[in-house]
Amino acid sequence: MLTAMGDVMRRAYEKGWITTRDGNISLCRAGKKLMYITPSGWRKTIIHPEHIIKLKMTDKEIKVPKGSKPSGELEMHYLLQRTHKKTMAIVHLHPTNIIAAMYAGWDLQVLASEFPEVSRYTKVGPSVPVLPVTSPELAEATFNAMTKDNKIIYDIVGQAAHGVCSIASNPWDAYEHIERLEHICEIALKSGVTPKSK
Ligand SMILES: [Zn+2]
């Protein structure tokens, strides 16, 4: 699965869903208090298992070993991974059409409900407003959007003017949630229909 983390990043780059150094992925295995996460600033096209950073985590904190530089979105991954009991992968990318659809005013939850290819397989949560990248505010808002009573209830949420956070039992399943939502956002944008104002 560590190999899949790099493979997902390469695919995301090929799709144009990240620029070279964007995006991040974390993974926690069932019953283990360890988080595997992509490094900060690294070229995501050349991520391989030996580049992935391993961090010890408890319910209260996550320890970053001296000299290692995990993703700037570590806090977002930690808040969500802290709830994990089963194996869980979290993928954060910047998919073009999802971001464009939010920018155009589409409500991703409403949009997803109209397309069975998404609504059958992917639970879309409420989008997070525009917040500074790598900020604690973004981490907390993403956590709140994805969870209820400290349990993760959605597969993916949008982050306005920024990206998405997607969760599944492995990196490729999380990627598929993004892919499905990205596809219908592209369709909605190409349709020329403008979103109904709320
Ligand atoms: Zn980002």
Residue written as tokens 């993916």?
Answer: 156
E-only strand ranges, the chain: 24-28, 34-37, 53-57, 62-63, 88-93, 147-148, 151-152, 156-159, 163-168
At residue 72, does pLDDT exceed 70? Answer: yes
pLDDT in the model for residue 59:
86
At residue 96, does pLDDT exceed 80? Answer: yes
**Cα 169 to ligand 1 centre (Å):** 21
- For range 7-21, the mean pLDDT: 96
Segment 182-197, tens digit of pLDDT: 999 999 999 999 887 5
The answer to whether 103 touches 159, Cβ cutoff 8 Å, is no
pLDDT in the model for residue 87:
96
Length of the chain: 198
In this prediction the pTM is 0.96
Closest CA to 163 of 24, 14, 10: 24
At residue 74, does pLDDT exceed 90? Answer: yes
**Cα 92 to ligand 1 centre (Å):** 6
**Cα 23 to ligand 1 centre (Å):** 5
**Cα 93 to ligand 1 centre (Å):** 6
Segment 106-163, tens digit of pLDDT: 999 999 999 999 999 999 999 999 999 999 999 999 999 999 999 999 999 999 999 9
pLDDT in the model for residue 196:
76
pLDDT in the model for residue 84:
87
The C-alpha atoms of residue 73 and residue 86 are separated, in whole angstroms, by: 21
At residue 89, does pLDDT exceed 70? Answer: yes
**Ligand 1 (single-atom ion) residues, CB below 5 Å:** 163
What rounded mean pLDDT belongs to the chain? 95
pLDDT in the model for residue 197:
56
pLDDT in the model for residue 100:
98
**Cα 17 to ligand 1 centre (Å):** 10
